[in-house]
Structure 1
Amino acid sequence: MAEVKISAEIRNEFGKGAARRVRRAAKVPAVIYGHGTDPVHVVLPGHELMMALKTANVLIGLDIEGKNELVIPKAVQRDPLKGFIEHVDLLLVKRGEKVTVEVPVQTEGELAPGGNLLEHILNALPVEAEATHIPESVTVSIEGLDAGHSILAGDIELPKGTSLAIEADSVVLQVVAAQAEAPAEGEGEAAEGAEG
């Protein structure tokens, strides 16, 4: 995974008013924590951060006023209506260090004919990987699967150096039979009323 470089400024003003001023300047307040250090409050450029976060579990090389740190996003708060980023929690990582992250699950192939449905029990798979080698996603073949089939976490082939962070028998995907159409509401009741 490529490392994205972003410059950050130390944030000294706190509270809602200060956060609003930061956002009006097209920037995002953030907190960096981890490795037993005190949290560091920073301000990040909004557009660069938004572009970086388009990649799940992106590795960010932060230049904090001349000091370089590697971080990954742990929590992103967005405005519920407009969707813009309001705040980000970033976790400090080191090269070679293992981290636990959720990696998106993608599927390929077609289910067996018959109108069955694929149910995603987990949209993302918890895995442990080296901070600088986090997979962008895992791909699962659903080719020819029929109703009743399940794909367990342990069935998914993971990239080298990546291991599961959940039980191997956890269901990730399952194929369910298409439901037969039920009679329209009220039809059965009307027939019962006519007999009485």
Structure 2
Amino acid sequence: MKERILEIALKEIQYKGFRFTMNDLARQAGISTKTLYVMYTSKVEIIDQLLDQAMDEIRIREEAIIADPNQKLMDKIRQLLILVPSDFQFFHMNRLYELQRYYPEQWQRLDQFVNVQWDGVRQLLQEGIASRKLKSFPIDLFIEMYIGGLYRLLEQSAKQEFHMTLEDALEAMIDIMLGGIMNREGE
């Protein structure tokens, strides 16, 4: 039942954002609010659980991508840079802004994760530079540009000026960061 409640909460976040209530969840789960509060003491506890699951999924998928001997180096790098938890890939960017605005402690946990979860990417970028598949560049600057770009997208989505899913936004950003904007004929 706890898993079902988390699934319902994810759907509520996707459609309504973080403004769902415990009553909404209980009604959709077909249980009383009192029963829901026995399983989860608060909406924040549910959000924490969802964040924990998302971060665990990213760690597991990152390890699998890095260890996959059948993937080319550049494919691995791209996959890591657009890695989004499967339950979050269709979220619009403004959902992350809502998390930042209304749940600052949970946002801080996610922000810390985004800022420190770079060992795998760093390792692959170094491998790419060493093998000359990538030209030499400051990896830390690349990472800061990625994080800065992501956060700028969040700001724009909060102003309702940017309407993309998280996955689509990351894919477009990585296409530009890895491939550049210049056509090959323009060289």
| TM-score, length basis structure 1 | 0.26
Rg larger in structure:
1
Q: More strand by proportion, 1 or 2?
A: 1
User: TM-score, normalized by length of structure 2?
Assistant: 0.27
Higher helix share: 2
